[in-house]
């Protein structure tokens, strides 16, 4: 089992399935009001270079529920923000804390930090991957459909870090994935090549209808992610026709579920009608960030 949680493709399906099993157990314990202080006395450093709502709250609350402590560290208020070498920060933090969570821009920074830290490092989002989110998404699928297996999944929108994480998930878990992106916004070629080498069953298309037809899980994200705000107007033009709306949902399986990692730009990449509609499990999905991340932390730090 890997020391760190940096990308899904670093892990085996069996080990990730064990995280799902532990997630179910921890969620049940919390719902019953049972203490589960599996990380009592342990500390998680949380480094943020990107703003956050769900990530900060879920990790901080999760560590509290596990009997540990979380430290919020904004990069602008640490020596990392003033240019301290990553290897120096990693070595020092590893001597103070039992684990480190990083939410940042560069995947390379997270990997460099993990290489020099003697404690587990969790990727809480980079511009390349968002593995914790897709684990929460798949656990939500398990809750609503009984299993993540033998289902058709659909991604509509930008070929961004979430698209990459779904591509990785298809490679590891073996399910069918359709990815619909506008021309010029395709997923990273290296991510695609790695998934293909692992035998992933993925259809890449520029037609959202083709991707959605018969799918059981529909998924999207904002068209302009953090750091791309200046491209908002241009992207709105380029993504015309890629909205997750009533017509797209009607093409999917009648029992389909709709996911969105949030925050959502309602009536842009997804309509208000769909996100509030009967197929939406968006807020179950958001809640499950807490439970899945607790399981990841216990697996790495317990």
In 3D space, the residue among 70, 122, 74 whose CA is nearest the CA of residue 97 turns out to be 70
**C-alpha span between 273 and 21 (Å, rounded):** 33
The total number of structural domains that make up the chain:
2
Q: What is the pLDDT of residues 26-39, one digit of tens each?
A: 999 999 999 999 99
- Band of pLDDT at residue 76, cut at 50, 70 and 90: confident
Round to whole Å and give the CA distance between 301 and 126: 22
pLDDT of 298 above 80 = yes
Q: State yes or no: pLDDT of 82 exceeds 80.
A: no
Structure confidence at residue 103 as a pLDDT band (50, 70, 90): very high
Task: Quickly state the pLDDT bin for 161 (edges 50, 70, 90).
Answer: very high
Which residues, at least 6 apart from 177, have a Cβ–Cβ distance to it below 8 Å? Answer: 152, 153, 154, 155, 166, 167, 169, 170, 200, 201, 202, 203
Query: Which pair of tokens denotes residue 39?
Result: 């990380």
Q: Is 187 one of the annotated binding-site residues?
A: no
**pLDDT above 70: percentage of residues in the chain:** 100
The pLDDT of residue 220 is 98
**Residue 244 is assigned to a structural domain of this protein:** yes
Is 262 part of any known ligand binding site?
Answer: yes
Give domain status of residue 229, yes or no. yes
**Closest-CA residue to 175 (of 211, 148, 144, 196):** 148
Q: pTM for the complete prediction?
A: 0.96
What integer pLDDT is reported at residue 227 of this predicted model? 72
Q: Residues 4, 127, 158, 221: which is the catalytic one?
A: 221
Q: Annotated catalytic residue: which of 235, 260, 289, 291?
A: 289
> What confidence tens digit (pLDDT) does each residue in 119-159 have?
999 999 999 999 999 999 999 999 999 999 999 999 999 99
Q: Assess whether 147 and 255 both reside in one domain.
A: yes
Q: Does any domain span residue 1?
A: no
Q: What is the mean pLDDT of residues 97-119?
A: 97
Note whether 279 and 168 are same-domain residues: yes
Burial of 89 (0-12, 13-18, 19+ CB in 10 A): buried
- The reply, when asked if residue 228 is annotated as ligand binding, is no
Question: CA neighbours within 13 Å on the CB side: how many for 108?
Answer: 0
Active-site pick, 4, 97, 103, 127? 103
Please check if 161 is assigned to a binding site: yes
Ligand-binding annotation for 178, yes or no, is no
Q: Collect all residues with Cβ–Cβ distance below 8 Å to 42 and sequence separation of at least 6.
A: 63, 66, 67, 68, 69, 98, 99, 301
Active site residue 261: yes
Are the C-beta atoms of residues 257 and 216 closer than 8 Å to each other?
A: yes
Which of the residues 65, 133, 243, 293 is marked catalytic?
133
Tell me if 154 is assigned to a ligand binding site.
no
Catalytic site includes residue 133: yes
- Closest by alpha carbon to 50, among 101, 12, 119, 95? 101
Which of these is catalytic: 261, 285, 291, 293? 261
| 153 and 105 both lie in a single domain | no
Please check whether residue 2 lies inside any domain of the structure. no
Say whether 130 counts as a known binding-site residue: yes
pLDDT at 83 over 90: no
Q: Tell me whether residue 36 is in a domain.
A: yes
Does pLDDT of 226 surpass 80?
no
- Residue of 4, 65, 130, 260 marked catalytic: 130
Active site residue 265: no
Is residue 206 within 8 A of residue 183, CB to CB? The reply is yes
What percentage of residues in the chain have a pLDDT greater than 90? 93
- Residue 228 pLDDT exceeds 90: no
| pLDDT level of residue 229 (50, 70, 90 thresholds) | confident
Q: What is the CATH number of the domain that holds 21?
A: 3.40.50.1370
131 is in an annotated binding site: yes
User: What pLDDT is recorded for position 297?
Assistant: 99
User: 221 labelled as ligand-binding?
Assistant: yes
Choose the weakest-confidence range: 49-53, 107-111, 201-205: 49-53
Q: Which single residue is written with the structure tokens 């560290």?
A: 73
**Domain match, 199 and 273 both:** yes
pLDDT band at 77 (very low <50, low <70, confident <90, very high): confident
Point out which residues pair with 270 in neighbouring strands: 244, 266
Q: Any catalytic annotation for residue 221?
A: yes
Range of the domain at 36: 8-130+286-301
155 shares its domain with 79: no
What pLDDT is recorded for position 276?
98
pLDDT computed for residue 224 by the predictor? 85
What is the pLDDT, as a whole number, of residue 185?
97
> Rounded mean pLDDT of the chain?
96
């Amino acid at each position: 089992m890997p020391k760190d949680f940096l990308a899904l493709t670093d892990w085996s399906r069996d080990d990730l399935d064990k995280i799902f099993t532990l997630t179910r157990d921890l969620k049940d314990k919390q719902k019953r009001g049972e203490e589960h202080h599996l990380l009592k006395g342990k500390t998680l450093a949380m480094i943020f270079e990107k703003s956050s709502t769900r990530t900060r709250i879920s990790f901080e609350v999760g560590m509290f529920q596990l009997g540990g402590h979380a430290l919020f560290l904004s990069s602008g208020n640490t020596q990392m923000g003033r240019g301290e070498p990553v290897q120096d920060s990693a070595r020092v933090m590893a001597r103070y804390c039992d684990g480190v969570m990083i939410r940042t821009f560069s995947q390379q920074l997270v990997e460099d930090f993990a290489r020099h830290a003697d404690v587990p490092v969790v990727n809480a989002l980079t511009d390349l991957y968002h593995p914790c989110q897709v684990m929460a998404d798949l656990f939500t699928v398990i809750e609503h459909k009984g299993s993540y297996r033998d289902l058709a999944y659909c991604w509509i929108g930008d070929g961004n870090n979430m698209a990459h994480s779904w591509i990785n998930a298809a490679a590891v878990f073996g399910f069918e994935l359709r990815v619909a992106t506008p021309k010029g916004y395709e997923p990273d070629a290296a991510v695609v090549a790695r998934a293909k080498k692992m035998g992933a069953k993925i259809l890449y298309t520029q037609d959202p209808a083709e991707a959605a037809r018969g799918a059981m899980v529909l998924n999207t994200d904002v068209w302009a992610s953090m750091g791309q705000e200046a491209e908002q107007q241009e992207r709105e033009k380029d993504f015309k026709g890629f909205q997750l709306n009533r017509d797209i949902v009607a093409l999917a399986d009648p029992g389909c579920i709709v996911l969105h990692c949030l925050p959502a730009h309602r009536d842009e990449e997804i309509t208000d009608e769909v996100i509030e509609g009967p197929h939406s499990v968006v807020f179950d999905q958001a809640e499950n960030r807490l439970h899945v991340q607790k399981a990841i932390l216990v697996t790495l730090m317990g």
